[in-house]
Amino acid sequence: SEYIPSVILFIFLVKMDFSIISNWPLNQSPDNRLKLALLFVHLVIVFAILSPIISRLLSQFGDEKLKKFIGLPEVGKNITYIDFYDFLSGLALSAFYLTILLFSLKEVYEKTGWVIAGIYAFLMFVSSISIAVLSLVRYIWLFTKFNNYAYYSVALLASSMCMAVIGVAMNMVS
């Protein structure tokens, strides 16, 4: 059951590729910007498809080691201002990475070509999103001791803040 989203994404990827190929004009070749965009989209979707396998590989390290690496707080820990500050700091770092990506992508593209630029964009994007997600997980972990309504409310609010910060970073650059 954990592989169902991966299968759905794979079907989506095949359908998307089939649609692009079948609707492409015969005597035209795609320009490098389109190739860059398609490479980036494919890398992100393939990463999402492989995420259950990556998750299994990470679980081999053991839950305690992973919790220690992420720095998950103890269940029942009192919530402090520093916890909120850490959450916002993680979001700011994520937005900073995304801003660097968007500012530097054109130069990387012009100097190295669409393949290297696509890989660069993918790696920076995954780094940015990973930092935001880890910050989000650490923050909402604090609220597991409360009832489900409080937990889900905080999770929704924090996720909204996460998306807003990333959206602002993208709009500032574009």
Residues of the chain with pLDDT below 70 are 173-174
pLDDT at 13: 93
Cα–Cα distance, 35 to 5 (Å, whole number): 26
Cα of 130 vs its chain's centroid, Å? 5
CA-nearest of 73, 85, 84, 88 to 145 is 73
Query: Whole-prediction pTM value?
Result: 0.82
